């Protein structure tokens, strides 16, 4: 599966546009998951853990995107964009990955 943020793939021709697809995931414990109480107050460890949690959630969103593309029998996804939103009232982070499923030759 070819994934790209651009609207074309060099050396390939888009044969069919199969539709817009979205992979979304939510995460809430990415900052403190698996940390000791003492480490929660170590900003370096906290932010490293936070980054790891966001990366895992982003990968989950990409996997959902790929599954949707495969269901449409696509062999590539073009125009990918990523949106990360923190819902301030709940502390939940939403990650959405959007792209266009296509068949390329």
The rounded distance, in Å, linking the Cα atoms of 100 and 77 is: 5
Residue 65, pLDDT score:
97
Instruction: State the average pLDDT for the chain.
Output: 88
Cβ atoms of residues 77 and 99 within 8 Å: yes
Residue 43, pLDDT score:
72
Tell me: the pLDDT tens digits for 26-75? 987 655 556 566 666 667 777 777 788 889 999 999 999 999 999 999 99
Domain ranges (residues) in the chain: 2-104
**Residue 80 CB: number of other CB atoms within 10 A?**
17
Confidence class of residue 22 from pLDDT cuts 50, 70 and 90? Answer: very high
Q: CATH classification of 2-104, choosing from 3.20.20.70, 3.40.640.10, 3.30.465.10, 3.30.110.70?
A: 3.30.110.70
Closest to 7 (Cα-Cα) out of 62, 79, 91? 79
**Residue 82 CB: number of other CB atoms within 10 A?**
14
């Amino acid at each position: 599966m070819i994934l790209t943020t651009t609207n074309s793939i060099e050396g390939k021709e888009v044969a069919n546009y199969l539709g817009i697809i979205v992979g979304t995931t939510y995460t809430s414990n990415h900052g403190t998951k698996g940390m000791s109480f003492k480490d929660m107050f170590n900003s370096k460890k906290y932010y490293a853990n936070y980054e790891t949690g966001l990366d895992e959630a982003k990968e989950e969103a990409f996997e959902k995107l790929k599954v949707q593309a495969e269901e449409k029998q696509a062999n590539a996804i073009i125009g990918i964009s990523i949106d990360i939103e923190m819902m301030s009232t709940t502390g939940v982070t939403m990650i959405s990955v959007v792209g266009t499923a296509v068949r390329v030759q």
